[in-house]
Structure 1
Amino acid sequence: MPLRFKNLDGSGPQPFSTVFKWAVGDKLAGKRRKSPDNAPVRRVEPDLAALATPPAPGEGARLTWLGHASWLVQLDGVSLLIDPVLRDTITGFIRRNVEPGVTMEKLPPITATLVSHNHFDHLDMPTVRQVGAPVITGLGMARYFPRGALPISELDWWGSTKVGAVTVHFVPAQHWSRRGLKDVNETLWGGFVVEGSSARVYHSGDTAYFEGFKEIGRRFPGMDAAMLPIGAYDPEWFMKKQHMNPEQAVQAYEDLGARRFLAMHWGTFKLTDEPLDEPPLRLDAEWNRRALPREPLHVLAVGESLTVRNA
Structure 2
Amino acid sequence: MTVTWFGQSTCLVQMDGYNILTDPIFSTRTIGSWFGPKRLRPPPCKLSELPRVDIVLVSHDHYDHLDRAVVKELGNSVTWYVPLGLRGWFNGHGVTNVIELDWWQEHTHTSVSPTQPTLLIASTPTQHWSGRHFFDVNRSLWSSFIVKGPRESLFHCGDTGYCGVFKEIGRKYGEVGLALLPIGAYEPRHVLHHQHISPSEALQIHTEINATHTVGVHWGTFMMSDEHYLDPPKVLEEGRRERGLRVGSVGVVGLGRTVRVGGGMFCADVPAEQSIPS
What range is the shorter-chain TM-score in? 0.7 to 0.9
- Max radius of gyration: which structure? 1
Q: Which one scores higher on RCO, CA 8 angstroms, separation ≥ 6?
A: 1
Corresponding residue number in structure 1 for 2:59 = 116
> Does residue 88 of structure 2 align to residue 143 of structure 1?
yes
Mean alpha-carbon deviation: is it higher for 243-252 or for 76-85? 76-85
Unaligned runs of 5+ in 2: 112-117, 265-278
Corresponding residue number in structure 1 for 2:24 = 84
Detail structure 1 runs of 4+ shifted over 6 Å in the superposition: none
Report the 3-state secondary structure (helix = DSSP H, G, I; strand = E; otherwise coil) of the residue aligned with 2:176. Answer: coil
How far the C-alpha of 1:176 sits from its partner, in A, is 0.8
> Does residue 215 of structure 2 align to residue 259 of structure 1?
no
How far the C-alpha of 1:185 sits from its partner, in A, is 1.2
Report the 3-state secondary structure (helix = DSSP H, G, I; strand = E; otherwise coil) of the residue aligned with 1:192. Answer: strand
Of 151, 175, 182 in structure 2, the residue corresponding to residue 229 of structure 1 is 182
* 1:112/1:163 contact within 8 Å kept: no
Instruction: Give the CA RMSD over aligned residues.
Output: 1.6
Corresponding residue number in structure 1 for 2:230 = 277
What is the CA–CA distance in structure 1 between the aligned matches of 2:104 and 2:137, rounded to whole Å? 22
Q: Deviations over 1:229-288 (max 9, x none)?
A: 110001100100000011111111111111112110100111111111011111111112
> Does residue 61 of structure 2 align to residue 130 of structure 1?
no
Normalized per residue, which structure has more strand? Answer: 2
Percent identical among aligned pairs is 35
Corresponding residue number in structure 1 for 2:197 = 244
Corresponding residue number in structure 2 for 1:94 = 37
* 2:83/2:140 contact within 8 Å kept: yes
How far the C-alpha of 1:309 sits from its partner, in A, is 4.9
How far the C-alpha of 1:310 sits from its partner, in A, is 8.3
What is the CA–CA distance in structure 2 between the aligned matches of 1:181 and 1:273, rounded to whole Å? 24
* 1:223/1:259 contact within 8 Å kept: yes
Q: How many residues align?
A: 251
Task: Give runs of aligned pairs for residues 173-192 of structure 1, distance below 5 A.
Answer: 173-192=126-145
TM-score by length of 1: 0.77
Q: Deviations over 1:22-64 (max 9, x none)?
A: xxxxxxxxxxxxxxxxxxxxxxxxxxxxxxxxxxxxxxx3221
TM-score by length of 2: 0.85
What is the CA–CA distance in structure 1 between the aligned matches of 2:15 and 2:240, rounded to whole Å? 29
* 1:198/1:310 contact within 8 Å kept: no
